[in-house]
A and B are shown apart, each in its own frame.
Chain A
Amino acid sequence: MEPIRTDFKGYEGKYVALDSRTGKIVIAAEDLESLFEQAKGRDHIVLGGRVPFADEPIPVGLG
């Protein structure tokens, strides 16, 4: 299986979902609830999380 490498640039701060076949971002929501709502009824969706900003602190360990 070919690994999927999604480019999240331009989606910083958004909650995203990917097309499971291509890895392309197909939903970019402002919050978690909106992400789940927009994903309902759609096929081939993988829900990611929030895309961090480049200068955002990353917690060490379980972020």
Chain B
Amino acid sequence: MRLGEPLYRPFVPIALANGDQTTFQLTGLIDTGADSVLASDYLADQLGIDLDDHDGETILGVGGHVAAVRYKTIGIRLYPKGEDEPCIEWQAPVGFIPNWHSYGFVLLGSVGFLDQFTVTASRFAQAVAVEHRDAFDDRFGPVPVS
């Protein structure tokens, strides 16, 4: 509860995959304010990823601290209908944040998630819908992109 209202957060079930290593299913928080997919470096350890061999590095302010985030392109799996149904998997750069975890372990941001799907969130409905990315154009018509 905050300000007398219950909190609802748009979590979806995901997993990260690196070769034959896969995490447990995790709660991924859909975050339109995040520029990319970000995860706890604890998961990099679980996946056997050597972050010294990273694909890129950037400095971010996270949770009141400045952290060097190191990126590695790995598999992300989304379980749209539960774990017993086929998952959707794609490759994307995931930024691993040292010594970070919060209410979930993964933030699903712009590059790597919101470029893959059309996401509709409604507190009124208390639900989030993740659809094929063409769903946006189907609904609103194509928008010119630069």
Instruction: List residues of chain A with CB under 8 Å of any chain B CB.
Output: 1, 3, 5, 17-18, 20-21, 32, 36, 39, 44-52, 54, 58-59, 61-63
Decide: A49 and B25 in contact? CB cutoff 8 A: no
Among A3, A52, A58, A59, the most chain B Cβ lie within 10 Å of the Cβ of A3
The chain A residue with its CB closest to the CB of B128 is A3
Pair count A-B, CB < 8 A: 72
Q: Whole-angstrom distance between the alpha carbons of A47 and B22 in the complex?
A: 13
Q: Whole-angstrom distance between the alpha carbons of A44 and B85 in the complex?
A: 12
Decide: B46 and A36 in contact? CB cutoff 8 A: yes
Instruction: List residues of chain B with CB under 8 Å of any chain A CB.
Output: 1-2, 8, 11, 13, 24-27, 31, 33-34, 38, 42, 46, 60-64, 79-83, 97, 101-105, 107, 126-128
